[in-house]
Amino acid sequence: MDTRYLDSFLQVAQLGSAAAAARKLNLTPTAVAQRIRALEDEIGQPLLVRTGRTLQLTAAGSALLAPAQALLLRARELKAIAALDSVVGDLRIGCITTALAWLVPNVLATLIENYEHLRPHVEPAFSTELHRKVLDGQIDIAILVAPPFELSKEYAWRPLVDEPFVVLAPPAMAGRDPHEVLRSEPFIRYHRRSYGGMLAEQYLVNAGIVPHERFEFDALDAIAAMVQGGLGVSLVPQWRPIHSPLGQLAQIPLPAPGVCRQLGLMWKRNSAKERLVEVFLQVLFAQNGLKPG
């Protein structure tokens, strides 16, 4: 069974269309459709059925999903093992969106320029999702917010940067007491399903602050835009924005000791991709004036 056909099937199952899968795989929709048909001929069952504008899994397709994922993961591991100490193969890198623009591009450029046979792939997602994907073996290394719990010894963690939380507010509120601002102004919450949002929520609880919540968002850029629009204040880390108006807003420091969002890297120890991860770490930390530990 050709693993490329399984990969095409999984992409269509995840994205819901051959066209979307084709864009991700850098193929034509016709080529993807041909792969699916060839896989169905080999299996002897239809795996996908069209429902409106999307393709849905049949019963056979649903049954094949988990074994296909496991087989592809094992195939990637075998390729990495066969490469031994060579810098050859696919490196799947997960990254939170707030770190993607400033931290990753130069690293990717260096990897592509210096390692001809290393193929980096980047997947943006929230930290909670990235953590799960490292555990499931769907990505090899992730740049994410430190989870609010201890990692298993099977996984490595390397800190990158600490981002202190501030009260983000309209410029006219600069100089006001941060706790008074959080208690009295409409509040735009950093979503509690994110690791950073959990830190903000814990700080509010510890400080005895019950804000007048108006909105709750995952995206920090969206929060900054809402604050700039006069819709409220927020408690967020001092991230490095590319397009948001962070510099045009008041960033009121919290009283000591405050709270920080730590960004770092998580990967599985002793994996088949160990050599590729090692190269990625070397490049990343060299460009930031650090050395991998």
CATH number for the domain spanning 54: value is 1.10.10.10
Residue 175: left (phi > 0), alpha (psi -120 to 50), or beta? left
Domain boundary among 55, 82, 109: 82
Considering only CA atoms, which of 190, 206, 208 is closest in space to residue 198?
190
Question: How many domains is the chain partitioned into structurally?
Answer: 2
Look at residue 237 and tell me if it is in a domain: yes
Whole-model pTM: value is 0.68
Domain boundary among 56, 82, 108: 82
Domain boundary among 82, 98, 133: 82
Strand-pair partners of 95: 124, 143
Look at residue 114 and tell me if it is in a domain: no
Look at residue 233 and tell me if it is in a domain: yes
Look at residue 122 and tell me if it is in a domain: no
Look at residue 279 and tell me if it is in a domain: no
Can you give the pLDDT of all 293 residues of the chain as single tens digits?
A: 678 888 998 999 989 888 998 988 888 989 999 999 998 898 898 999 888 888 889 999 899 888 888 888 777 766 655 554 567 788 999 999 888 877 888 888 888 888 888 889 999 999 999 999 999 999 999 999 999 889 999 999 999 989 999 999 999 999 999 999 999 999 999 999 899 999 999 999 999 999 999 999 988 889 999 999 999 999 999 987 766 667 789 999 999 999 999 999 999 998 888 889 999 998 998 876 665 55
Instruction: Look up the CATH number of the domain holding residue 247.
Output: 3.40.190.10
Look at residue 147 and tell me if it is in a domain: no
Residues 6+ apart with CB under 8 A from 197: 189, 190, 191, 218
Residues 6+ apart with CB under 8 A from 106: 287
The pLDDT, as a whole number, for residue 86 is 65
Q: CA angle at residue 270 from 264 to 271, to 5 degrees?
A: 85
Look at residue 116 and tell me if it is in a domain: no
Look at residue 210 and tell me if it is in a domain: yes
Domain that holds residue 65: 1-82
The pLDDT, as a whole number, for residue 84 is 47
Pair 167, 256 in one domain:
yes
